[in-house]
Amino acid sequence: MVIPDKSFRLRNEDVERKWYLVNVENKVLGRVATRIAALLTGKYKPQYTPGVDCGDYVVVINADKIRITGKKAEQKIYFRHSGYLGGDKYYKFRDLFNKKPEKILELAVKGMLPDNKLKKRQLRRLRIYKGSTHPHQAQQPVLVEI
């Protein structure tokens, strides 16, 4: 006699992915990053399973018009290390924002995703663009208000 399993576990082949469009113009960086991280992980879905990558694709536009609060523009510093002795590099927020505004949002979302094997796969589904145009019109992304 087989006892039916009352729990539901989603499998990778059963995941249906949607495309979402997020306009971050005049939105606060941290608040936007948390919503994008939730879309990438799929935590808002009723069939969410922690060990399965069930998130969706997210297209972000107007990354160069994102807003921050407080004195972060002068005080926030980003850190990188090459792995070699003396290979540490420090970047100020304002310098990195002027050069690559997409990188600011990508680093914020990356820090909010769980540190496991799914993180790299989830970040691949994040597409960030400076302006208001993007090449993903064929996927018909749904606009998400934040």
The domain segmentation of the chain, as residue ranges, is 17-68+101-144
Backbone phi, psi, residue 122, to 5°: -70, -40
Alpha carbon dihedral 91, 62, 70, 100, in 10-degree steps, equals 10
| pLDDT at res. 72 | 92
Which residues of the chain, if any, have pLDDT below 70? Answer: 1-8
| CB burial readout 60-78, b (16+ within 10 A) else e | bbbbbebeeeeeeeeebee
- Topology of domain 17-68+101-144 in CATH is Ribosomal Protein L13p; Chain: A; (3.90.1180)
| pLDDT at res. 78 | 96
Query: Using one digit for the tens of pLDDT, what is the confidence trace for 51-87?
Result: 899 999 999 999 999 999 999 999 999 999 999 999 9
